[in-house]
Structure formats: C-alpha cells, structure tokens
C-alpha cells in the first residue's frame, strides 16, 4: 500500500485524475491523503466530491477553509462570493449526501508520524492538543452547525489561550487549522498578510519557522499557501502548488518521499 498526499485540488478534477494515473494509484490498495480545499474556484468541484467520497476509507481528507465555506453557504449562513464556483454542488441531486459526507471530515489526522491539517499549527500546540482542538470543532459541526457557521467568520481572537471559550475558541481553532500562514512565537496569528513570506520581519514568520516542540514529534502535511510553493523537509510537507491558479497539482509519496506533479490548465488569475 502507498500513501499519496495531494495538495489543494479546489475543483481541478481533470488534473486530479491525471495525477492519480501518473502515480498509478489503485483504489483497492492505496490511500489518498487530501490536505483540504477539495472545492471552489476550479471548474469541477462536484466531480471531485463525488470521486473522493466514492473512495471510501481509501481517501482521508481534512477540511479546508473553502470546504467549510461551502458548508456555510449550503446551510444558508453565508452568501456565495463572486469568485466561488459552488453552484453545481449546491444544485446537485446528491447534494445532501455529499455535504453530509463533507461535514464528517476531520480537521486534523494523525497516522504513522504524519499529522495532516489544511493550513498550520500554532507553536503552543502539541500533536495531541491539535487533535483535541480539531475534535472540538468537529463536534460543533455535528451538533449545531448553523450556530458554528453563523459565528465562524472573522479574524479575532488572534492569540491562543486555554482560557478561550465558546465561539471565540472555535473560531480561533478554525482559523489556525484552515487559514493561518503567519504567526508570532507567542501564538498570535496574522490572517491579513498573504502572498510570499515577508522578508526579515521580526514578528511575523511562517508558522513552521517558529520554535515549536511539535517539529520533533511529527511531520506536518499541509497545503493552503500556494504562494509558498512546494516545501519538503523532515518536519514539513507543504503541498499547495497552486493548481487552480495555473500552477500544478502535486502528490507526495509519504513513505518514499517521491513527488509527482501535473500542470494546471489554469482557471483563475494568479493570486496576489
């Protein structure tokens, strides 16, 4: 069995199938690790959801910010944005089954020394804490998703504290696991800065460059930061190579370290 981790798909179904053919993925034997953002901005989100759901236990997908946005729109708690490409999913005959399946995906997954999240992890969290905090959000998704989606959007609070409670706590956890790129050493996050990492900034650093005990526990597998590109090192596999922006869709064999990429057909203007 091979474990293939794949970067943000975002509705790029043709590239996904081409990539799986390149790595000779077999659904009866191999496992896909999908770092989130299965949907949105690309042209075939519905096909991606149907395909991944049909793989059953051979696909492990964590939720990304675009996946959560789709669920919020479907629940009537958010309007579609001009850049969204979710209409086909929302109008599908099997919409309920697909969205129920999506809502059951975790926000973090740990297996064989690899911890997968969509965006990142603040330096104060251990692997066990990350999974525990992810489960808090997963529980809210299953018990009162409408309330969660109604309060999910926003950039505050911006600093981690065990004293956070209620929706403030859940929003911070969601923002870390699905939106964060930059943070400070004391666990403050910056969601406004995007694009490439700032040079020589004494406060804001890529979250994986902070001093964090987690780096000695696990390898983190993630996506979300297309401007960063492919980053592979002992403690990190960052796999968003910007397929929806005209880059590529990349797969990493988690056990051998071998990577394969297929070029994008290009669907959106390059991200600023």
> What domains are there in the chain, each with its CATH number?
3-263 (3.60.21.10)
pTM of the model: 0.95
Contact residues for 37 (Cβ-Cβ < 8 A; gap 6+): 8, 9, 10, 64, 65, 66, 67, 118, 223, 224, 240
Report residue 238's pLDDT band, with 50, 70 and 90 as the boundaries: very high
Residue 267's pLDDT band, with cuts at 50, 70 and 90, is: confident
d(CA 169, CA 160): 8
Please give the pLDDT value at position 48.
98
pLDDT of residue 19: 98
Whether the CB-CB separation of 127 and 220 falls below 8 Å is answered with: no
pLDDT at 269: 61
Quote the tokens at residue 199. 């040079």
Question: According to the model, what pLDDT value does residue 266 have?
Answer: 79
């Amino acid at each position: 069995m091979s474990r293939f981790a794949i970067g943000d798909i975002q509705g790029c179904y043709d590239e996904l199938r081409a990539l799986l053919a390149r790595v000779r993925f077999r659904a009866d034997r191999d496992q896909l690790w999908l770092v989130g953002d299965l949907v949105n901005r690309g042209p075939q989100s519905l096909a991606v959801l149907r395909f991944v759901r049909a793989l059953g236990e051979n696909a492990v997908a964590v939720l990304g910010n675009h996946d959560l946005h789709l669920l919020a729109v479907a629940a009537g708690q958010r309007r579609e944005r001009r850049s969204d490409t979710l209409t086909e999913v929302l109008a599908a005959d099997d919409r309920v089954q697909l969205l129920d399946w999506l809502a059951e995906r975790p926000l973090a997954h740990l297996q064989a020394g690899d911890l997968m999240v969509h965006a990142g992890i603040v330096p104060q969290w251990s692997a066990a804490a990350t999974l525990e905090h992810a489960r808090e959000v997963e529980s809210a998704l299953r018990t009162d998703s409408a309330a969660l989606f109604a309060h999910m959007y926003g950039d505050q609070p911006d600093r981690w504290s065990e004293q956070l409670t209620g929706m403030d706590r859940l929003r911070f956890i969601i923002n870390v696991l699905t939106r964060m790129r930059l943070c400070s050493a004391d666990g403050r996050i910056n969601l406004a800065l995007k694009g490439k990492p700032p040079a020589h900034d004494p406060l804001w650093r890529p979250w994986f460059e902070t001093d964090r005990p987690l780096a000695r526990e696990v390898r983190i597998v993630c996506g979300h930061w297309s401007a960063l590109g492919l980053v592979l090192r002992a403690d990190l596999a960052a796999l968003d190579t910007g397929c929806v922006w005209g880059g590529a869709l990349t797969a990493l064999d988690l056990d051998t370290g071998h990577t394969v990429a297929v070029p994008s057909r290009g669907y959106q203007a390059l991200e600023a």
